[in-house]
Amino acid sequence: MTFEARELSPDRSVRDLFGAELRRYRERAGMSLRRLADVVNYSKSQLARIEAAESLPYDDLPAKLDACFGTGELFARLHALAKREPFPDKYCRVIGEIESKATTIKEYASATIPGLLQTRALAEESLRLGNPYASDAEIETLVQARIDRQALLDKPKPPRCWFILDEAVLRRPVGEAGVMRRQMSALVEAGARAHLTIQVLPFAAGGHAEAGGSLMLYTLPHQPLRAYEEGSHSGTIIEDQNDVTIRRENYDLLRAMALSPRDSAAMIRVAMEDWTPCEPPLT
């Protein structure tokens, strides 16, 4: 079967740019993937995935590519940038191509407050938990990238957003009590905005099909509905419309099981009071 090269979008991410440059220099040198694989001691399938921006190479490959093509430190520098990219893998496509253009965003969150609603303090605490070996500068880059996403909620014509929060995200501490209290206050304020609706799915609702992960549904102009499911370390864009329909039905059921927006705001206020830092005992 003939291999058909995937069309690349080098302006999408550094990872895509790495793949596009790899293909450009390989084709300029008149080398097939198999021939390049022999030269750099990689498998053809590995190189194909790297060219398609589906994976990053191991740390030894960029230097081999620079030596092979005589490109100085081009691939080494691109590789260093790609590893620090705030939104790697498929999530970069979700942020850059889908979320930023959506007219409607619907999200169910079971583990943490959605990034679009997080305060800076909660974002920092969450990202430190997920990146325990990152430097302060790397964490700050990730935090700022997350906060920058929220600008779409303040556009002149912002997307209509609907958030369903599992009760667990109100109760599980992330950082100190003060961080959680300020986050609950921010949720109350967000829920009062005309284009945002926040509902809480209480523990009493029981089990459901989307338990344990996060689900996003995106409506874009003149395009079919897209779904995105995310776990703690991976995410999947879903475009097959039969599969999207299943997720949409799951979301509709969650919305029916959740508290009303008014009752949800009341529960969030109760959680906010529960997160009031305790005063030290008098001595």
What is the pTM for the complete model shown? Answer: 0.69
What are the tens digits of pLDDT across the range 40-61?
999 998 899 888 877 777 789 9
Average pLDDT over every residue of 182-192 = 97
Go through the domains of the chain in sequence order and give each one's CATH number.
14-83 (1.10.260.40), 89-114+151-274 (3.30.870)
Average pLDDT over every residue of 198-223 = 91
Asked whether residue 4 carries a pLDDT value surpassing 60, the answer given is no
Q: Name which residue leads in pLDDT, 39 or 144.
A: 39
Would you state the structure tokens that stand for residue 124, as one six-digit string?
């920092």
Q: Name which residue leads in pLDDT, 83 or 143.
A: 143
- How many C-beta atoms lie closer than 10 Å to residue 124's C-beta? 21
What are the tens digits of pLDDT across the range 257-276?
999 999 999 999 999 999 98
Which pLDDT band holds residue 205 (cuts at 50, 70, 90)? Answer: very high
DSSP the chain: ----PPP--TTT-HHHHHHHHHHHHHHHTT--HHHHHHHHT--HHHHHHHHTTSSPPPTTHHHHHHHHHT-TTHHHHHHHHHHT-SS-HHHHHIIIIIGGG-SEEEEEESSS--GGG--HHHHHHHHHHH-TT--HHHHHHHHHHHHHHGGGGGSSSPPEEEEEEETHHHHS--S-HHHHHHHHHHHHHHHTSTTEEEEEE-GGG---TTTTSEEEEEE-TTS--EEEEE-SS-EEEE--HHHHHHHHHHHHHHHHHSPPHHHHHHHHHHHHHHTSPPPPPP-
Taking alpha carbons only, the member of 72, 73, 89, 65 closest to residue 14 is 89
